[in-house]
């Protein structure tokens, strides 16, 4: 997961991890800096991140149930 406006972690870092991963998805959190808590109105950024993470967890749980 990459934060689109991250100035701390170079964009290449999450891309390299994804490229070398055996499986997974590459997600970009739009218009989000490295630390959303330091942004004006961080709530929507955290809500988006939480939604993505919860969706991934639910998908893994469903996959496990099908196995």
Residue 24 has pLDDT above 90, yes or no: no
CB 48 within 8 A of CB 4: no
- For the whole prediction, is pTM greater than 0.85? no
Residue 67 has pLDDT above 90, yes or no: no
Residue 29's DSSP bridge partners are 3
* Mean pLDDT score, 5-30: 94
**Alpha-carbon torsion (9, 12, 15, 16), positive or negative:** negative
Dihedral in degrees, nearest 10, Cα atoms 22, 54, 48, 18? -10
Taking the domains of the chain in order of start, what are their residue ranges? 2-66
Residue 10 has pLDDT above 90, yes or no: yes
- The chain-wide mean pLDDT, for the chain, equals 95
Would you call 18 helix, strand, or coil by DSSP?
Answer: helix
Cβ-count burial of 55 within 10 angstroms (0-12 exposed, 13-18 middle, 19+ buried)?
A: exposed
């Amino acid at each position: 997961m990459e934060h689109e406006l991250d100035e701390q972690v170079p964009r290449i870092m999450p891309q390299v991890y994804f490229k070398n991963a055996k499986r997974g998805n590459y997600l970009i959190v739009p218009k989000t800096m490295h630390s959303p808590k330091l942004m004006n109105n961080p709530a929507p950024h955290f809500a988006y991140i939480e939604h993505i993470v919860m969706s991934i967890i639910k998908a893994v749980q469903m996959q496990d149930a099908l196995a």
